[in-house]
Amino acid sequence: GAGVSQSPSNKVTEKGKDVELRCDPISGHTALYWYRQSLGQGLEFLIYFQGNSAPDKSGLPSDRFSAERTGGSVSTLTIQRTQQEDSAVYLCASSVRASPWNEQFFGPGTRLTVL
Amino acid sequence: GQQLNQSPQSMFIQEGEDVSMNCTSSSIFNTWLWYKQDPGEGPVLLIALYKAGELTSNGRLTAQFGITRKDSFLNISASIPSDVGIYFCAGQLLRDAGGTSYGKLTFGQGTILTVHP
C-alpha cells in the first residue's frame, strides 16, 4: 500500500512488560513523527526523525520511552516497564521532509492497553 | 507549552444542518490546520491555512485563520452522515528557537460530530 502502516494494530500487555511499536512510513518520506492520543484527548507530540536522526526528543514522557529509525525508513517506538497511564493510541506520521510546508500523513495507529 | 482549546467537545446535529467549531490559543501560530479522524484511522488533513485573516473553502468546508493568529474556525455546511467523526484543529510554527520549524503539530482536544439522518 501507499500509505503509512503501523503494527500491531492492537497490543494488550501487562504492567511492567516492554512493548515495541512499529511504523512503516510512505516510501521516500524522510521525516517521521510519533504522536500519542489518550482517550478523549488530542494528539500529543512525542518525537520526530529527519532521516535516522532524532533532533527533538522533548515530547517523550519519560526515560522509559525511546525510539529509533534505521535505514531512513522503519521506526520503532519502545516503551519499557509499561504503566497503566501508557495506555493510548500511538500514531505515526511521515512527510517528504521535516518542515511545516510538507503535509504529514498519518498511519492508523497502534492501540496499546496496559493491564 | 502551547495549548489549543477546541470547542465544542461534541455536537449532535440533524443531516442538512450547518456546523461550526473553533479553536483558540494562548499564543501565536503561523499555520492552522483542520483534520478529521474516522474510527480506527489516523487523522486526515482537511484544510491548511497559512495567512492571518485567510478564509479557505474545500467543498462544504470553510475555515478561517484568525487575524490575531490565535484562533481559527471550521464550518461544515449541509452536513451529511459521512461527516461523522472527530475533528481536530492543529497549529504549527514556521520558526522555533532552533531555527526553521520541523513541522511539529500542536493539537486541540477534538470535536466529536454525530449526524442523525
Grade residue A46 by pLDDT with cuts at 50, 70 and 90.
very high
* Cβ contacts of B100 on chain A, cutoff 8 Å: 99
**A102 vs B6: CB contact, 8 Å cut-off?**
no
Q: CB–CB of B38/A106 below 8 Å?
A: no
* Cβ contacts of A48 on chain B, cutoff 8 Å: 102-104
Please state which of the ranges B62-71, B78-87, B92-101, B102-111 shows the lowest mean pLDDT: B92-101
Coil, strand or helix: which one is B51? Answer: coil
Place of cell 507549552: B1
Note the pLDDT of residue B100: 67
Grade residue B94 by pLDDT with cuts at 50, 70 and 90.
confident
Summarize the confidence of residues A51-74 as an average pLDDT.
92
Distances (CA, A) of B9 to A40, A113, B12, B22, B87: 9, 24, 11, 10, 10
Strands A75-79 and A88-95: unpaired
Summarize the confidence of residues B71-76 as an average pLDDT.
97
- A46: closest CA of chain B, how far (Å): 10
Instruction: List CB contacts of A53: < 8 A, sequence separation 6 or more.
Output: none
* Rounded Cα–Cα distance for residues B16 and B68 (Å): 32
**Residue at A103: amino acid letter:** E
Q: Give chain A's contact residues with B (Cβ, < 8 Å).
A: 4, 31, 33, 35, 40-45, 48, 50, 55-56, 91, 93, 95, 98-109
**A100 vs B45: CB contact, 8 Å cut-off?**
no
Q: Does B92 touch chain A (CB under 8 A)?
A: yes
**B42 vs A103: CB contact, 8 Å cut-off?**
no
Summarize the confidence of residues A38-42 as an average pLDDT.
82
* Cβ contacts of A40 on chain B, cutoff 8 Å: 109-110
- B105: closest CA of chain A, how far (Å): 7
What number of residues does chain A have?
Answer: 115
* Cβ contacts of B38 on chain A, cutoff 8 Å: none
Summarize the confidence of residues A61-69 as an average pLDDT.
96
Summarize the confidence of residues A57-79 as an average pLDDT.
94
Q: What is the CA radius of gyration of chain B?
A: 14
